[in-house]
């Protein structure tokens, strides 16, 4: 009788291990996919941040030049040709960077939740 009970327990443990392995493998694959999305978001974020910095300087420089210029005709020309387009690009990039930051936050949350489930499952069923 003891041998049968031990055999059944061993079978249940083996089944639990297989289910756990499948669960962990599935979650890790999903986490890997999410991590690759995060890498792409991070790359795009860096590119946009660099572009934002460029437009920040361009906008700041044109603003300083306008403030130092007394000729209204030249001021208007600078505003139309440089200042307004730089300001528009700068504001668009600021909004875009906010969107990318939100995406980063959301996808990091996925990774944290997956890790949390893995920890809980590991604590439930130690191998």
pLDDT digits (tens, 9 = 90+) for 39-73: 999 999 999 999 999 999 999 999 999 999 999 99
Low-confidence ranges of the chain (pLDDT < 70): 1-20, 125-127
Q: Count CA within 13 A, CB hemisphere, residue 7.
A: 4
Query: Which residues touch 97 (CB under 8 Å, ≥6 apart)?
Result: 45, 48, 49, 52
State if pTM tops 0.85: no
Instruction: Determine the pLDDT at residue 31.
Output: 94
């Amino acid at each position: 009788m003891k041998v049968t009970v031990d055999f059944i327990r061993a079978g249940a443990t083996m089944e639990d291990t297989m289910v756990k392995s499948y669960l962990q493998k599935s979650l890790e694959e999903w986490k890997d996919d999410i991590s690759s999305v995060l890498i792409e978001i991070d790359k795009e974020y860096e590119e946009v941040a660099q572009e934002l910095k460029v437009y920040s300087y361009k906008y700041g420089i044109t603003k300083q030049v306008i403030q130092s210029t007394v000729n209204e005709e030249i001021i208007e020309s600078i505003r139309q040709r440089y200042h307004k387009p730089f300001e528009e690009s700068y504001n668009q990039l600021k909004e875009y960077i906010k969107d990318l930051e939100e995406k980063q936050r959301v996808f990091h949350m996925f990774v944290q939740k997956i890790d949390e489930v893995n920890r809980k499952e590991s604590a439930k069923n130690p191998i």
